[in-house]
């Protein structure tokens, strides 16, 4: 008799645990769907194919920018320079175009500059062990200054958006090509994160960097690689933005900063709770883009959106800490 | 490593710092004789007051081994609060009190979230900084507030002189003196250090660790308001981005000072701030465009932190002993 009761209780507990886990893993997707449904009900033009294309295009740029950041934060570090690196890549490209070189060279240089900035971050953080926040605040400041100096404090106009511009504004139905490319990137990185030892090492780094090193994994090289990757990703997004905006902007979207961090941390609340991961980041980016597009239709001002995003980030972190293990919390003290 | 005492880490470092200041001053004077003019020195002391006040609060946060990225946003919010109150015709001191109170609320929120609820410091303060920055727009929808500024008397804070120097500089010195006594001569200061060094042992030694962490964040928010009041007094208008420029010099002051004098302390921050302000002012006197200033500060911060990093100096001494190991060994023997 007691046996039956206890097994029943255990089964029930397991059942409720499973439900909890499913809610924990997929609530972000549910929120996204509910948000789309609500906005679409109130403002049907949200689901116009042109609007969907706009949402997907901005999401794709955002996604490319913070792909590397996702893993940096997943490894327990922080990179606050990604936005300025994107600005530097953006201005480098625009400056080279303005001084007469071709798109290929300009784009390659733009990305290379990002790689150099990432290498600087990575060397100082991974090899010398200087706190990631200090290094990336400073390198971000340097990148922003160089970006502004390239345009003497103002933006640079680009006459011809070139092949990249065509690519950015080509749609397959409602889906822009660039979104497909970004999705491919994320598919590959999802594979690397989930199926290769590479991904396991990243999450192990956040738990205990010393232990990872003792286990014979080249933790420093891995961290260095992650920062270089983050720099390259940001710079690619910067180059794409140059084509998209037909200009180089030294102060390129400071909104990307809070958006990027919000997306990565909200994404960390999905699938692998408390750990940033690429699929979670994708969902969170879509969530933010729909929020921006929907709120624009309601005529909300920029600062109201900024407040909403800040609250989202705060709630996201609080929930992540509640569900996740405190020892493996992302970014504690950097 | 002992971190308490009158001189954070020996007289040698202090002498080196004095020499550095002297060389820097001499170099600027050689290039631009106006550097030593009364007018410029008065300007340096005034700018130093704003930078130094913001850095003082950050010092405490860094001493408890946390980071605060929100104080710039908080300062913007407070600046607009004060501006709104002044435009409403209230008494100046009441306005400043309300501004301080508003910032203290944000700081207390940060402190609560981080110390009592265990949220990660960097993400939490980025979120609250963003929210506070958004709230700054609420008063005037982002428009500049300038009404009543001339008649309110806030401009006198900038213009008032004592022995030929701005009163704000003496306020800075007085506040630093109080902070020095508090941090380095009372058990409360020692408790702040203990909280940062080892929260667990501090807790078992009877230090209310969470209260101290929270207090650090509140003080950081409050001193950033002091700084922004000086900025308001200098410009005579309240803008939504008035506090944004505080972030970089404050971080640079704290960490450069810590690197120079071998540990985070009140005196080290004062030293770091002096150096940063001299550099910024010197460069602006030489006519270097404004957009270089962040880059210069960042570059100096990075160089300082790298050069004075214990591991890097170890590397240098290793290198030195590698180059001439035999001579030094034989000298010792003979």
- Model confidence at B289, pLDDT cuts 50, 70, 90, reads confident
| Mean local confidence (pLDDT), B287-298 | 83
Note down the domain range covering A285.
13-328
Mapped onto helix, strand or coil, the DSSP state of residue B275 is helix
Contact B137 A128 (CB under 8 A): no
Mean pLDDT of chain A: 84
Does pLDDT of B258 surpass 70?
A: yes
pLDDT band at B152 (very low <50, low <70, confident <90, very high): confident
**What integer pLDDT is reported at residue A62 of this predicted model?**
92
Is residue A5 assigned to a domain? no
Model confidence at A173: pLDDT above 80: no
- Residue A303, domain member (yes or no): yes
pLDDT of the residue at A249: 84
Residue A1 in domain: no
> For A326, which residue in chain B has the nearest alpha carbon?
B118
Q: Does a structural domain hold residue A334?
A: no
Q: Choose among A64, A75, A81: nearest CA to A119.
A: A81
Between A1-10, A316-325, B293-302, B310-319, the lowest mean confidence (pLDDT) is in A1-10
Is A85 at the interface with chain B, CB within 8 A?
no
CB A207 within 8 A of CB A190: no
Alpha helix ranges (H) inside chain B: 11-31, 38-63, 71-87, 92-111, 121-135, 149-152, 154-159, 167-185, 187-197, 199-204, 209-235, 247-261, 266-285, 293-307, 310-323, 325-333
- Give the per-residue pLDDT at B8: 47
Q: Which of B122, B251, B292 sits opposite A331 (nearest CB)?
A: B122
Total number of domains in chain A: 1
Q: Give tens-digit pLDDT for A1-16.
A: 344 444 555 556 666 6
Residue ranges per structural domain of chain B: 11-324
CATH value at residue A179? 1.10.3470
Considering only CB atoms, A145 lies closest to which of B120, B291, B311, namely B291
Q: Give the phi and the psi of residue A247 in degrees, each rounded to 5.
A: -160, 165
Task: Tell me if A4 is assigned to some domain.
Answer: no
Interface test with B, best of A82, A141, A295 (most B CBs within 10 A): A141
Closest CA to B56 of B233, B193, B179: B179
What Å distances lie between residue A255 and A180, A309, B321, CA to CA?
24, 10, 50
Question: What CATH number was assigned to the domain covering residues B11-324?
Answer: 1.10.3470
Three-state secondary-structure class, residue B3: coil
Cα angle vertex B248, ends B297, B32, to 5°? 35
Distance from the Cα of B298 to chain A's closest Cα (Å) equals 4
Q: Is A297 exposed, middle or buried (0-12, 13-18, 19+ CB in 10 A)?
A: middle
- The per-residue pLDDT for B313 is 66
pLDDT at A95: 92
Asked if B93 reaches chain A (Cβ–Cβ under 8 Å), the answer is: no
Lowest average pLDDT, out of A10-19, A30-39, A276-285, B179-188, goes to A10-19
> Do the Cβ atoms of B117 and A321 come within 8 Å?
yes
Long-range contacts, stretch B91-96, CB < 8 angstroms, 24+ apart: B92/B152, B92/B153, B92/B154, B95/B152, B96/B225, B96/B229
Question: ipTM exceeding 0.90?
Answer: no
Chain B residues lying within 8 Å of A152, measured CB to CB: 289
Does any domain span residue A7? no
The mean pLDDT of A227-237, rounded to a whole number, is: 95
Asked whether residue A333 is domain-assigned, the answer is no
């Amino acid at each position: 008799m007691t046996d039956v009761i206890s097994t029943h209780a255990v089964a029930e507990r397991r059942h409720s645990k499973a439900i909890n886990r499913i809610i924990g893993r997929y609530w972000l997707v549910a929120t996204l769907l509910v948000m789309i449904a609500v906005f679409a009900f109130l403002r049907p033009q949200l689901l116009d194919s042109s609007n969907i294309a706009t949402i997907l295009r901005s999401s794709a740029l955002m996604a490319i920018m913070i792909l590397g950041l996702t893993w940096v934060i997943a490894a327990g570090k922080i990179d606050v320079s990604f936005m300025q690196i994107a600005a530097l890549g953006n201005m480098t490209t625009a400056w080279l175009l303005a001084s007469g070189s071709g798109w290929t060279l300009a784009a390659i240089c733009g990305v290379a500059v990002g790689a150099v900035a990432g290498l600087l971050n990575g060397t100082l953080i991974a090899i010398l062990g200087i706190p990631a926040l200090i290094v990336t605040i400073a390198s971000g400041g340097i990148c922003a200054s160089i970006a502004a100096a390239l345009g003497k404090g103002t933006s640079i106009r680009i006459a011809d958006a070139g092949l990249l511009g065509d690519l950015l504004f080509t749609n397959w139905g409602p889906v822009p090509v660039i979104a497909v490319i970004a999705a491919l990137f994320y598919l590959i990185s999802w594979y690397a994160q989930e199926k290769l030892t590479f991904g396991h090492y990243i999450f192990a780094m956040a738990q205990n960097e010393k232990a990872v090193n003792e286990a014979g994994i080249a933790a420093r090289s891995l961290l260095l690689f992650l920062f270089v990757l983050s720099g390259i990703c940001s710079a690619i997004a910067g180059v794409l933005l140059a084509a998209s905006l037909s200009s180089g902007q030294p102060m390129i979207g400071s909104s990307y900063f809070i958006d990027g961090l919000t997306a990565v941390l909200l994404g960390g609340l999905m699938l692998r709770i408390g750990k940033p991961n690429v699929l979670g980041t994708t969902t969170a980016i879509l969530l933010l883009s729909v929020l921006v597009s929907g709120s624009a239709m309601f005529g909300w001002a920029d600062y109201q959106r900024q407040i909403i995003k800040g609250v989202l980030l705060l709630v996201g972190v609080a929930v992540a800490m509640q569900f996740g293990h405190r020892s493996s919390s992302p970014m504690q003290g950097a | 490593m002992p971190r308490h005492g009158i001189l954070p880490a020996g007289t040698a470092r202090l002498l080196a710092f004095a020499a550095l200041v002297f060389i820097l001053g001499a170099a600027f004077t050689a290039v631009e004789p106006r550097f030593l003019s009364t007018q410029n020195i008065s300007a340096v002391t005034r700018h130093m007051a704003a930078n130094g006040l913001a850095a003082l609060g950050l010092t405490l946060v860094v001493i408890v081994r946390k980071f605060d990225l929100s104080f710039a946003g908080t300062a913007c919010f407070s600046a607009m609060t004060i501006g709104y109150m002044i435009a409403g015709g209230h008494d100046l001191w009441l306005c400043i009190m309300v501004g301080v109170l508003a910032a203290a609320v944000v700081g207390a929120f940060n402190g609560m979230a981080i110390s009592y609820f265990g949220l990660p410091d960097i993400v939490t303060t980025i979120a609250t900084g963003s929210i506070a920055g958004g709230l700054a727009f609420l008063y005037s929808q982002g428009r500049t507030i300038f009404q009543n500024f001339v008649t309110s008397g806030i401009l006198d804070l900038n213009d008032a002189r004592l022995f030929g120097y701005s009163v704000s500089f003496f306020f800075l010195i007085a506040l630093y003196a109080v902070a020095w006594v508090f941090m380095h001569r009372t058990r409360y200061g020692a408790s702040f250090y203990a909280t940062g060094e080892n929260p667990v042992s501090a807790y078992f030694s009877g230090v209310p660790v969470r209260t101290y962490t929270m207090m650090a964040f509140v003080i950081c928010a409050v001193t950033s308001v002091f700084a922004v009041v000086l900025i308001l007094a200098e410009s005579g208008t309240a803008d939504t981005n008035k506090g944004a420029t505080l972030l970089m010099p404050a971080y640079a002051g704290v960490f450069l000072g810590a690197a120079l004098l071998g540990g985070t302390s009140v005196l080290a921050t004062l030293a770091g701030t002096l150096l940063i302000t001299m550099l910024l002012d010197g460069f602006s006197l030489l006519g270097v465009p404004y957009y270089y200033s962040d880059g210069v500060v960042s570059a100096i911060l990075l160089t300082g932190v790298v050069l004075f990093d214990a591991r890097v100096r170890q590397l240098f001494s290793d290198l030195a002993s590698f180059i001439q190991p035999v001579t030094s060994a034989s000298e010792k023997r003979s």
